[in-house]
Structures are given as structure tokens and as C-alpha cells.
């Protein structure tokens, strides 16, 4: 395998959502030569009755049946992984695509997370509604559980048509810098992607002296946060330049919204026709930390026709 600087784990099991995840990677990153994709397929674990002692079957017979079921499930998983690899190789170099097959031992979401966190991946790519035919009715819970608990960025793919326009919604200070750093690294030197950094000023985010009117409080808080945002974006531009992405190609947008960040982000994503929306999983401490947590949850649940990246 040639040396590549970006490595993502694609959770693939042949369902429509996981095939859409493949199409997303092909559409957004297919022209890149510095991208590595590992197609991960987790074979179903054997049925419970083969894993427990007792019953009428002898231990030898039960072990033989267990081995046969494991082999069959692993073979099916390998075929699916190869299918995912073939699809990706339509646009990616063959040496940039690997497959990884393992047997499920526990919760499916945690199997994916364990592989991602142990394999030095830059992101997990997962179809929004699921992975496995066996657990079709629980697929939403699998992708959401991965998004909630993984310590690496999670790209949750949904929709059918994607473009190369990326909306990056940022909180200020350290959480926002982590989001910017991830985006700058992934799209470093990409000549076609269009990136917009968005910060929403929420006028009701605090309280001022009792002698001020409500309107005066709102105005002062908005002005103070706008100054903080300007300083943040100046540093953020530096991160893009360090990563080889021209700062002049990064647009910055600061908007005010009395309805809160989530509504403003959703509105901007649709109005600007962004195919990918990037948000932080958590915000900074206190009220804003809780607010951004609720923001990311609302973005995921509402934007069903776009891909959402969650960055820790």
C-alpha cells in the first residue's frame, strides 16, 4: 500500500445506506490521490443456541455447526467487503482501497468504534440508516450510537446527490478549532472544494446589568461575541494555510439568530445548497456546551438529505 495521508474507515454491508456512503466518497474524494479507504464488514455472530451448552445436540456436533456458521458468515462478509472495494475502485486507485473483515462479538456499533479507534483512522464513514440486513429495524440506532460514542470524527452519509460545497458550523475557542483542523486536514490542497465557516451569534446567550434594557443587553452581547468570532476566524484561516488550503478560498459568515444556532445552520445549509455540513459533537463548557450538544443532535436528525460530519 502506498503512503497516503488520509485514512477513513467505511462501514459497509451492502445495504442502500452503505452503498450511498460509497457514492459519497466517490463523488467528493474520487479524484484525490492522497486518500485511503478501508472497507470494513463485520460478519454476523452465530445464533445464541450454538454458543450455549445444553440441549440435545452433543458438544462435538454443536462445535461443528458453530464452525460452519462462522465460516459461512465470514465468507459472506468477505464477499460484501470485496463488492464495496470494487465499487470504490471505479474511481480510486486499487492500491488505495483495502478490506477488513471481522466476526461480531458484541454490539455492532461498538465493533465499528473499536476498529476505528484502534486503527489510526481519520474518520468513520457510515450510512445514516444502517449497516446490516439482520438488524434493519435497528439501523438508525447503530449509526447514531457510533456518532455519539466514537472519539474519532464520524461522517454520517445521507441523501443521493452531493456536491463539493462544505458548510462548517463552528463554536468558538478550542472545540471550534478541532472542527476547523479536521476540515483543513481532510481538504488540504483540494482544488475544487468550496468551504464556508459559519458562526451563529445567539443574542440571548447571557445576561447583563439590571440597568440595561433587554434590547441593550442583546446588542451588547451580540457585539461582544462578534469580536470574539472575528479573532477566532483569523486563527482558523491560519490553520487552513498551514494545511495547504488557500485562505482566500475559505468564506466566513457570521449571522445573528434569535431562534438559536441549529435553526440558523439548517436554514443556511439549505439556502446555500451545501452537500456536507460539519458540526462539533460538543461545545465549550456551561450553557454553550449543552447548547451545541443539542445543536448537533438536531442537525443529524433534521438533515436527512445531506451528509453530516461530527467532530469531537
pLDDT in tens, 186-224: 998 788 999 999 988 766 544 444 456 656 666 766 677
CA pair distance 109, 40, nearest whole angstrom = 12
The whole model's pTM is what? 0.84
> What mean pLDDT is reported for the chain?
82
CA pair distance 278, 59, nearest whole angstrom = 52
Domain that includes residue 98, residue range: 6-157
Residues 175 and 297 in one domain: yes
Q: What is the pLDDT of residue 207?
A: 46
User: 287: Cβ–Cβ under 8 A, 6 or more apart, which residues?
Assistant: 205
Domain end call among 105, 124, 157:
157
Q: What is the pLDDT of residue 47?
A: 67
Query: Which is more confident, 285 or 53?
Result: 53
User: 3: Cβ–Cβ under 8 A, 6 or more apart, which residues?
Assistant: none
Residues 13 and 150 in one domain: yes
pLDDT at 20 over 60: yes
Query: What b-and-e string marks burial along 234-251, b requiring 16 or more CB atoms within 10 Å of the CB?
Result: eebbebbeebebeeeebe
Instruction: Supply angle C-alpha 230, 292, 217, rounded to 5.
Output: 60
Average pLDDT (295-303) is 87
The number of folded domains in the chain is: 2
For position 263, which CATH number holds? 3.40.50.620
CA pair distance 210, 217, nearest whole angstrom = 9
User: Phi, psi (5° rounding) for residue 282?
Assistant: -135, 155
Provide the grid cell at 21. Answer: 456512503
Domain end call among 116, 139, 157:
157
Question: 263-280, pLDDT tens digit by residue?
Answer: 999 999 999 999 999 999
pLDDT at 137 over 60: no
Q: With helix as H, strand as E and coil as C, how does 199-255 read?
A: EEECCCCCCCCCCCCHHHHHHHHHHHHHHHHHHHHHHHHHHHHHCCCCHHHEEEEEE
Residues 171 and 152 in one domain: no
Query: Which is more confident, 292 or 40?
Result: 40
Q: What is the pLDDT of residue 91?
A: 95
Q: In what order do the strands lie in the sheet with 165-169?
A: 97-103, 35-43, 6-11, 123-127, 154-157, 307-311, 276-280, 165-169, 194-201, 250-256
Question: 75-91, pLDDT tens digit by residue?
Answer: 999 999 999 999 999 99
Amino acid at each position: 500500500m502506498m503512503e497516503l495521508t488520509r485514512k477513513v474507515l467505511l462501514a459497509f454491508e451492502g445495504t442502500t445506506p452503505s452503498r450511498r456512503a460509497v457514492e459519497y466518497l466517490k463523488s467528493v474524494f474520487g479524484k484525490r490521490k492522497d486518500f485511503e479507504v478501508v472497507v470494513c464488514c463485520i460478519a454476523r455472530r452465530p445464533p445464541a443456541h450454538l454458543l450455549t451448552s445444553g440441549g440435545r445436540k452433543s458438544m462435538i456436533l454443536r462445535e461443528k455447526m458453530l464452525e460452519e456458521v462462522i465460516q459461512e458468515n465470514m465468507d459472506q462478509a468477505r464477499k460484501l467487503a470485496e463488492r464495496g472495494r470494487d465499487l470504490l475502485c471505479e474511481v480510486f486507485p486499487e492500491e488505495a482501497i483495502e478490506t477488513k473483515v471481522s466476526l461480531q462479538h458484541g454490539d455492532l456499533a461498538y465493533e465499528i468504534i473499536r476498529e476505528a479507534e484502534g486503527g489510526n483512522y481519520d474518520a468513520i464513514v457510515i450510512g445514516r440508516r444502517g449497516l446490516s440486513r439482520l438488524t434493519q429495524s435497528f439501523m438508525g440506532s447503530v449509526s447514531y450510537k457510533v456518532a455519539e460514542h466514537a472519539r474519532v470524527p464520524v461522517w454520517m452519509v445521507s441523501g443521493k446527490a452531493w456536491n463539493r460545497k462544505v458548510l462548517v458550523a463552528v463554536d468558538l475557542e478550542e472545540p471550534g478549532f478541532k472542527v476547523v483542523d479536521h476540515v483543513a486536514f481532510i481538504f488540504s490542497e483540494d482544488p475544487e472544494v468550496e468551504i464556508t465557516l459559519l458562526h451563529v451569534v445567539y443574542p440571548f446567550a447571557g445576561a447583563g446589568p439590571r440597568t440595561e434594557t433587554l434590547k441593550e443587553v442583546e446588542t451588547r452581547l451580540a457585539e461582544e461575541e462578534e469580536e470574539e468570532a472575528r479573532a477566532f476566524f483569523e486563527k482558523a484561516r491560519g490553520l487552513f494555510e498551514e494545511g495547504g488550503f488557500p485562505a482566500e478560498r475559505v468564506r466566513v459568515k457570521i449571522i445573528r439568530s434569535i431562534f438559536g444556532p441549529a435553526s440558523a445552520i439548517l436554514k443556511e445549509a439549505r439556502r446555500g445548497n451545501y452537500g456536507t455540513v460539519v458540526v462539533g459533537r460538543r461545545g465549550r463548557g456551561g450553557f454553550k456546551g449543552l447548547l451545541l450538544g443539542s445543536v448537533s443532535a438536531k442537525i443529524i436528525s433534521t438533515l436527512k438529505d445531506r451528509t453530516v460530519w461530527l467532530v469531537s
